[in-house]
Amino acid sequence: MDQPRHLRLLDLHIDLARQRVSRDDVPLDVQGLSFQLLACLLRHRDAVVDFDTLMAEVWAPAVVNEETVTQRVKLLRQALGDDGRQPRYIRSVRGRGYKLCEPPVVAETLIPVEPVAPNHHRGAWIAALGIAVLVLGGAGWWEWHRSLAATTATTSPTQELLQRAAYYAGIGQRDNNERAIGLYQQVLATSPSHAAAQVGLSRAYSARACLYNFPYEWARSAQQLAETVLKSDTRNAAAWSALAYAHDCRGEMQAAIDAYQHAVVLDPADDGSRASAAYLYQERGQLVDALRANLDLHGDASRVRFRDVQIARELDLLGFTEAAEQRFRRSFQLNPDNVFSNIAWPQHLFLQGRLAEAQTALDQAMTRNTPHVGLYVLAGELALLRGDRTAAHSTFDQAVRLRPQMSLPTTLATLYGDTPSTPAWLDTRIAGMKSQLAEGMGYPSDQLELAMLQLARGQRAEALATITAAVQAGYSDRAYLQTSPLLRPLTGEPAYATAIDTISRRMAEQRAQVMAAAWRPAELRQTP
């Protein structure tokens, strides 16, 4: 008998083919491994599913332990609104495993199928400081891989490899990204010009550089793969999106925006590229454009993994602090494997001046997922605010060891080290940054690092001019300029106050535009 597509579990509607769960037609944030875990329990109806079976059917061939399963069940329960002490959907069976509280029932189409625009080529922060290579281009990456995993028919060995590669890449973890790379390479070993495999490998290479602390050369390789596909097919939307992600990882903002926009023109259903472009609008200070783009996704918004963090960041910059905090907190609670959620919440608390809370959240984030350089930089800033320069240098040095190819950690580790930086080193560093910025590399926020170097060199006027230029280019985080110890020597300068005032006026104008817009987020509609 064919497996049913639609199931009902009490008040939950589950579309197995589209991997969607809803309650009262409202989509729930059940994605990736959480959905696979739910699907496994559904297959076994109301029978107890032991740990070995769960590990074999959900995680294999990855090797995990019972604690991994338990933590994933906890995340699934949170997404469903289930209480492990009084469960409605999933019951723990002590010493054995888990089971559904009620057997699922087959249902007719329960979740309306949204129209999808034709796609003829389907196959395929720190935010405040601007470590810009760790950008949200990854939103499009995970979305694309999920789409491929869900739509690739398993009718040939090649298609099976592609489907499995997409599954691993879509999980969003370093080890699984490497598994995906190996599978894409297997396809290309026998079919060197296979477009979907080239696009998939391009995205996985970019993820190496953007998310998993590999050298930036991998983003160059990713760019070359995407360009190879586009030479043969200039209308391949997925290849344009992969090219944008590669540019994004390398800090080539305008090139990334152009390519993301091209992808959306070719495939209006490409919400991943739309959300990634929105992040870059945000970095340029176009917060109204960014927020509107993130609220105007064409498909299932919950499938764009980092959308809530982006919206929260935009609301925060615009001054909607309470609404932003709700989103940051929820994402941090529900997504312990989301690298950007782990940065965003402690960073938000830091920028609010809630330093003890920020340290607590940072300590928790440090125990999760792949270590992130932004967490170490934030730890260093908090240490400086406590007056502990030794601890600050230690954490900055850890950031360097994690990403030796990244500029900012090296700058901070040197500026706050035991040995004073030499004028020659500072001059070389300043000249290099100026050259890169002149060539269009980097984001407005990258100019803050240049200002730190100029300040260390005694070039106070130049540092103030650099801050002014960053604001003119769109830098919009006034809270960071007011809070971070890294630029504190400038805070008494009139030009510095003017830069902050410029941001305040620009944000007030954009805030008014948002409040006047019919598309503003629901939580702002009751805001006076």
Is 110 or 165 the better-scoring residue by pLDDT? Answer: 165
pLDDT at 131: 35
Q: Is it the case that residue 331 has pLDDT exceeding 50?
A: yes
- Can you give the residue ranges of every domain in the chain? 6-106, 138-314, 420-528
Q: Is it the case that residue 447 has pLDDT exceeding 70?
A: yes
Over residues 408-438, the pLDDT tens digits come to 999 999 999 988 889 999 999 999 999 888 8
Q: What angle do CA 197, 236, 147 make, to 5 degrees?
A: 60
Lowest mean pLDDT of 33-42, 103-112, 119-128, 155-164, name the range: 119-128
Could you please state the CATH topology (level 3) that the domain comprising 138-314 is classified under: 1.25.40
Q: Is it the case that residue 175 has pLDDT exceeding 90?
A: no
* C-alpha–C-alpha distance, residues 486 and 470, integer Å: 16
Is 174 or 228 the better-scoring residue by pLDDT? Answer: 228
pLDDT band at 158 (very low <50, low <70, confident <90, very high): confident
* Count of CB atoms situated within 10 Å of the CB of 181: 20
Instruction: For 287-310, give the DSSP string.
Output: HHHHHHHHH--SS-GGGSTTHHHH
Question: Which one-letter DSSP state was computed for residue 522?
Answer: G
Lowest mean pLDDT of 123-137, 155-169, 491-505, name the range: 123-137
pLDDT at 118: 28
pLDDT at 62: 66
The pLDDT > 70 percentage for the chain reads 87
Q: Is it the case that residue 129 has pLDDT exceeding 50?
A: no
pLDDT band at 133 (very low <50, low <70, confident <90, very high): very low
pLDDT at 8: 84
pLDDT at 67: 81
How far apart, in Å, do the first and last CA atoms of the chain sit?
Answer: 57
Lowest mean pLDDT of 113-127, 145-159, 411-425, name the range: 113-127
Q: Is it the case that residue 75 has pLDDT exceeding 50?
A: yes
Question: What type of residue is 446?
Answer: D
pLDDT band at 329 (very low <50, low <70, confident <90, very high): very high
CA-CA-CA-CA dihedral for 57, 59, 62, 65, to nearest 10 = -100
pLDDT at 36: 85
Lowest mean pLDDT of 20-24, 210-214, 286-290, 389-393, name the range: 210-214
Q: Is it the case that residue 165 has pLDDT exceeding 70?
A: yes
Is 469 or 83 the better-scoring residue by pLDDT? Answer: 469
Nearest by Cα to 464 from 440, 507, 500 = 500
Over residues 272-324, the pLDDT tens digits come to 888 889 889 998 999 999 999 888 877 776 666 678 889 999 999 999 999 99
Cβ neighbours of residue 366 closer than 8 Å, sequence gap 6 or more: 375, 379
Most confident of 132-136, 194-198, 265-269, 306-310: 194-198
Q: Cα–chain-centroid distance for residue 102?
A: 35
pLDDT band at 237 (very low <50, low <70, confident <90, very high): very high
pLDDT band at 441 (very low <50, low <70, confident <90, very high): confident
Over residues 468-486, the pLDDT tens digits come to 999 999 999 999 999 999 9
pLDDT at 476: 95
What is the side-by-side strand order in the sheet with 90-93?
A: 49-50, 97-100, 90-93
pLDDT at 125: 32
The answer to whether 5 and 285 have CB atoms below 8 angstroms apart is no
Question: Which one-letter DSSP state was computed for residue 60?
Answer: T
| β pairing state of 105-106 and 97-100 | unpaired
**In CATH, what number does 6-106 get?**
1.10.10.10
Q: Is it the case that residue 108 has pLDDT exceeding 80?
A: no
Is 127 or 385 the better-scoring residue by pLDDT? Answer: 385
Please classify residue 53 by burial: count the beta carbons closer than 10 Å to its beta carbon, then call 0-12 exposed, 13-18 middle and 19+ buried. middle
Residue range 264-273: average pLDDT? Answer: 88
Q: Cα–chain-centroid distance for residue 252?
A: 18
Report the sign of the C-alpha dihedral through residues 436, 437, 440, 441, in that order: positive
* pTM tops 0.85: no
Cβ neighbours of residue 56 closer than 8 Å, sequence gap 6 or more: none
Q: Is it the case that residue 526 has pLDDT exceeding 60?
A: yes
Q: Is it the case that residue 124 has pLDDT exceeding 70?
A: no
* Count of CB atoms situated within 10 Å of the CB of 86: 6
pLDDT at 381: 97
